[in-house]
Chains A and B, each alone.
Chain A
């Protein structure tokens, strides 16, 4: 293990006796069925308008050789998470054994500092009204299904993935499937330049989807209809 790559004391890369859970997403196997998104919604009753995991796609190529490039997204459970550093009240924290980045809902003040810090847009604000839960108006995110993993189950999105595009396991265990996939395949992480050391690895991700392209340039007035539609539905 390349423990010499550890920079911050919070990182658990190659630390003996510590688990480091990671997800490998093989985009070549993703068929865009969105079952992972639905499974996540079902698991957590995530409100309309926000997602813990989502599957955006881009159509790439020139007609007639075009294809959809899916890029399943979720919290990257970074080894060096900027959201943890930026939370003023320790409402977000990293579980040392496992590397889960979790949220203490009862402590969150809703300053959105963690949302601003996250390079992956993985965090969102829960709306003021929810049908089945009293957890409202605090920041939420993917937990890598902490409650399932601690019961020796895999995350709901991994469980439901029909193409076995998503694989979950302990990266510090050299015999795990994720270790094998990361060792044997060329993998990418999102925005590696940020130094967050993400724990979501992609195989075969298209650069059109992982990098900021020219189409990311949108003026605020162009964004405004979307923002106002979002806010109309989503009174916080």
Chain B
């Protein structure tokens, strides 16, 4: 009563969560495109995944640049005189550019229409660079020592698992009625989403049993609107439900169940990214 506090806006807004979502899908699609060179069942996805991945990179890149308050200065992140490698953002900027270059070269090779050794090598390089994208975005949160939830070593792992899950979900939607591809993608979705669930349980555990900041953040994440987004949409509808459906689809060979599970995974991964980005920032707004 009668207290005077100063309002501080959150540092990163929802557009950053959309960027995380887009970058996760494109990384997952790159894994699938490389996977098609090893697993014949995924062959129909090779070109589609590569093209969509590059298109999403353009969208994600524009989102990231537009989110800067000085958009044109994004070039500073590529200036070797300015780069500070203690920041994951610097590594991320280089990773994005390298992925973009590799992705274009890979697509040019694909357009030749031959299954060449160079194509496979470029697919591998693109997939490895794509792996760096969810790792860097997770690491980008992890390094903030004062933020509960973010400052946990599992964040990069969670983002990689989310990338595989959401990329496979988009792959499943792209595959349509291709039973062979769906069979492989179902396995990818099932185990990556189950992995997401396990990581979320461990995050919730360390958050709930942490210090006062962690406990308060746990309360923010699990109650009210944020609770509905994080627990309701992210964990129950977007993680637990698709795992159950994928497991049942595994038993009954249902394609419709797979498609619904894929949609739920996409919805859940978007919700989780939003909640994990915004929730831990709320506590400090009035500190």
A interface with B by C-beta (< 8 Å): 51, 54-59, 68, 73, 82, 84-91, 107-113, 115-121, 124-125, 137-138, 191, 193-195, 211-212, 214-221, 223, 226-227, 230-231, 234, 236
Contacts and interface: CB of A to CB of B under 8 A. Distances in A.
17 contacts: A88-B83, A90-B83, A107-B73, A108-B70, A110-B68, A110-B73, A115-B11, A117-B146, A121-B8, A215-B3, A217-B216, A219-B220, A219-B225, A219-B226, A220-B224, A223-B286, A230-B9
A212 B283 contact: yes
Contacts of B114: none
A117 B76 CA distance: 20
B243 to A, nearest CB: 28
Nearest to A195: B145
A121 B287 contact: yes
Contacts of A89: 73, 76-77, 79, 82-84, 90
Contacts of A112: 11-12, 69
Nearest to A124: B8
A87 to B, nearest CB: 6
A15 to B, nearest CB: 20
A58 B3 contact: yes
A95 B212 CA distance: 33
Contacts of A113: 11, 87, 89, 140
A7 B144 CA distance: 18
Nearest to A37: B6
Interface residues of B, number: 55
Given A88-B87, A89-B76, A89-B77, A116 B11 contact: yes
A88 B3 contact: no
B56 interface: no
B147 interface: yes
A116 B67 CA distance: 14
B52 interface: no
Nearest to B280: A116
B213 interface: yes
Contacts of A87: 84, 87
Contacts, number: 156
Contact of B9 (A108, A211, A217, A231): A231
A40 B23 CA distance: 42
Contacts of B266: none
Interface string B170-214: 000000000000000000000000000000000000000001110
A17 B270 CA distance: 53
Given A116-B11, A116-B12, A86 B226 contact: no
A230 B7 CA distance: 8
Contacts of B87: 85-88, 113
A218 B286 contact: yes
Contacts of B226: 219-220
Contacts of A217: 216, 219-220, 283
Given A56-B3, A89-B76, 11 more contacts: A59-B2, A82-B146, A88-B83, A110-B69, A116-B12, A193-B211, A212-B212, A218-B220, A223-B282, A227-B7, A227-B9
Interface in B71-96: 73-74, 76-77, 79, 82-84, 86-90, 92-93
A193 B147 CA distance: 12
B36 interface: no
A51 B6 contact: yes
A159 to B, nearest CB: 22
A111 B68 contact: yes
A193 B151 CA distance: 13
A216 B144 contact: no
B76 to A, nearest CB: 5
Contact of B7 (A58, A195, A226): A226
Most buried by A among B1, B79, B226, B286: B286
B225 A221 contact: yes
A180 to B, nearest CB: 30
A73 to B, nearest CB: 8
B20 to A, nearest CB: 14
Given A107-B76, A109-B70, A191-B146, A90 B82 contact: yes
A211 B215 CA distance: 13
Interface in B1-56: 1-12
B12 A125 contact: no
B162 interface: no
A54 B69 contact: no
Contacts of B68: 109-111
A56 B69 contact: no
Nearest to B7: A226
A16 to B, nearest CB: 26
B269 interface: no
Contacts of B152: none
